[in-house]
C-alpha cells in the first residue's frame, strides 16, 4: 500500500503432514507443502479433494487433526484466526451488508486501532488500487458481483497482511469478468509482493495465474509444480486427466533405457518418458496431449516420434483448430487437435490414417 516503498515481503508457509479427519473420514490426509515467500500458489482439485479444508486450516477456521502449519517458521496451529494476520477472500465475497464500502474496508484497520484519519487515507488508497475510487459511500448490495469482489480484495489487503488466502474468489462471476479479475489479481500479486494461496477447481484459471500449482485429490497432493511442468510432465493419470485433455494409451513394457521406456502398443513400438523405471513386461499407460499429435501419413518415421495407425471416427471443425476423434486397432479412443489451415487437407470420417507425436511428449503416468 505504501506504493513502492513497501518493505513487506511475503510469508513463507510450511505445511507438514497436515491432516483433518471428521470421525473416520479424512478430508485432508497428509499434506506436506512448502510455499515460498511471495509465491502465487494454487491449490487445484475437484470438489472434495481437501483444498478448501487445507485453506481453512491455514486461516485458522479448522483445527488440524495432525500435522503442523508454520508461517515463517512459527507454528500457528494454536493461534485463533484473528491473531494470524492473514488476509482472506471468500467465494461469496462475505462483505458486511450493514456497512458501507468504506467501513467494510476500514474494518480490519479499526480492529487494529488505526486512527480515523489514517483509516480514511488507507481506505482511499485501497479503493484506488482495486479501481473503485468514489464508491466508498455505497452499500455492498448496491454493487455488482465484480465490484463486490474488488471491495473484498481491498478489505483483505488494506491491513498489509503478508499472506492472502483466496477461496474460489471468482467462482460466482461470469467468464469475461473472471478473466479481467484474473489479470488484476496477477497485477496485485506483482505489486504487493505478498504470498497468495489460491483455491480453485478451474484448471485454466490455475494455469494462467499461478507460479506453482498443487494438484489435490482425495485429501492428498497429487503433484506440485509450475503450470508447464504439470502440463508437460504430469506425474499421474489423475493429473494428466485433470489438467488439460490427455490421451491414454495402454502398453506393455519391453525395455527401459534410462529415462526412456520402450513399450509395445497396438502392434507398434512406442517410446515415452518415465520418472521411475517400470519392470519389463509390466502393463503401463502412456499419456500424450491431443495438440501434440499430428497426421503423418506422408512423413518418414524417425526415432524421435511415435507412430500409430488409426481410423477417423469423428471430425469437428472448431474455427482455429480441427478436433478429430480417432480409434486405434483395438478400439482405444484418441483425440487429435490440428491447427486449422487452408493448405491442410481435412480428414473425413472412416478414413484410415497414421498419427505421429514426439517421444518427449509421451509420459508414463
Determine, following the binding rule CB under 8 A, whether residue 61 of this chain makes contact with other proteins.
yes
Pairwise CA distance, residues 41 & 44, whole Å = 9
Q: Which residue has the cell 474496508?
A: 105
E strand or H helix at 183: helix 175-192
Footprint on residues 264-283 left by other proteins (CB under 8 A): none
Determine, following the binding rule CB under 8 A, whether residue 227 of this chain makes contact with other proteins.
no
In the complex with other proteins, the residue whose CB is nearer, 106 or 227, is 106
Which of 22, 96, 115, 352 binds other proteins (CB under 8 A)? It is: 96
Per DSSP, what are the bridge partners of residue 295?
355
Determine, following the binding rule CB under 8 A, whether residue 20 of this chain makes contact with other proteins.
no
E strand or H helix at 215: strand 212-217
Determine, following the binding rule CB under 8 A, whether residue 64 of this chain makes contact with other proteins.
no
Q: Segment contacting other proteins (CB under 8 A): 46-54, 142-150, 211-219, 343-351?
A: 142-150
Pairwise CA distance, residues 335 & 327, whole Å = 9
Which of 88, 153, 274, 286 binds other proteins (CB under 8 A)? It is: 88
Footprint on residues 149-208 left by other proteins (CB under 8 A): 155-156, 159, 165
CB of 169 to other proteins, least distance (A): 12
Q: In what order do the strands lie in the sheet with 220-225?
A: 87-89, 163-167, 195-200, 40-44, 212-217, 220-225
CB of 256 to other proteins, least distance (A): 50
| The three three-digit cell numbers of residue 281, written as one number | 513386461
Task: Single out the residue of 247, 318, 239, 340 nearest to residue 286, CA to CA.
Answer: 247
Which positions lie near other proteins, rule CB under 8 A?
A: 59-61, 80-82, 84-88, 90, 92, 94-98, 107-108, 111-112, 140-141, 143-145, 148, 155-156, 159, 165
Amino acid at each position: 500500500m505504501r506504493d513502492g516503498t513497501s518493505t513487506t515481503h511475503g510469508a513463507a508457509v510450511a505445511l507438514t503432514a497436515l491432516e483433518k479427519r471428521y470421525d473416520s473420514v479424512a478430508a485432508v490426509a497428509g499434506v506436506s507443502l512448502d510455499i515460498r515467500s511471495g509465491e502465487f500458489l494454487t491449490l487445484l482439485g475437484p470438489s472434495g479433494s481437501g483444498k478448501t479444508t487445507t485453506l481453512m486450516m491455514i486461516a485458522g477456521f479448522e483445527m488440524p487433526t495432525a500435522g503442523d502449519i508454520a508461517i515463517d517458521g512459527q507454528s500457528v496451529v494454536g493461534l485463533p484466526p484473528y491473531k494470524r494476520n492473514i488476509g482472506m477472500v471468500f467465494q461469496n465475497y462475505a462483505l458486511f451488508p450493514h456497512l458501507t464500502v468504506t467501513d467494510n474496508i476500514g474494518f480490519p484497520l479499526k480492529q487494529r486501532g488505526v486512527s480515523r484519519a489514517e483509516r480514511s487515507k488507507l481506505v482511499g488508497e485501497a479503493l484506488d488500487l482495486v479501481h473503485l475510487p468514489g464508491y466508498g459511500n455505497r452499500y455492498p448490495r448496491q454493487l455488482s458481483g465484480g465490484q463486490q469482489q474488488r471491495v473484498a480484495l481491498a478489505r483483505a489487503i488494506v491491513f498489509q497482511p503478508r499472506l492472502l488466502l483466496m477461496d474460489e474468489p471468482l467462482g460466482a462471476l461470469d467468464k469475461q469478468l473472471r478473466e479481467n479479475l484474473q489479470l488484476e489479481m496477477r497485477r496485485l500479486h506483482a505489486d504487493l509482493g505478498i504470498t497468495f494461496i489460491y483455491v480453485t477447481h478451474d484448471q485454466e484459471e490455475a494455469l494462467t495465474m499461478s507460479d506453482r500449482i498443487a494438484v489435490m485429490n482425495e485429501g492428498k497432493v497429487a503433484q506440485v509444480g509450475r503450470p508447464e511442468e504439470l502440463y508437460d510432465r504430469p506425474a499421474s493419470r489423475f493429473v494428466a486427466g485433470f489438467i488439460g485433455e490427455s490421451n491414454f494409451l495402454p502398453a506393455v513394457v519391453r525395455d527401459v533405457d534410462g529415462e526412456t521406456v520402450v513399450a509395445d502398443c497396438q502392434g507398434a513400438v512406442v517410446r515415452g518418458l518415465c520418472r521411475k523405471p517400470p519392470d519389463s513386461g509390466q502393463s503401463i499407460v502412456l499419456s500424450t496431449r491431443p495438440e501434440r499429435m499430428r497426421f503423418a501419413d506422408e512423413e518418414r518415421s524417425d526415432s524421435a516420434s511415435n507412430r500409430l495407425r488409426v481410423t477417423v471416427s469423428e471430425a469437428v471443425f472448431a474455427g482455429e483448430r480441427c478436433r478429430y476423434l480417432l480409434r486405434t486397432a483395438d478400439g482405444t479412443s484418441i483425440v487429435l487437435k490440428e491447427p486449422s489451415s487452408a493448405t491442410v487437407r481435412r480428414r473425413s470420417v472412416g478414413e484410415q490414417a497414421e498419427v505421429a507425436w514426439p517421444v518427449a511428449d509421451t509420459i508414463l503416468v
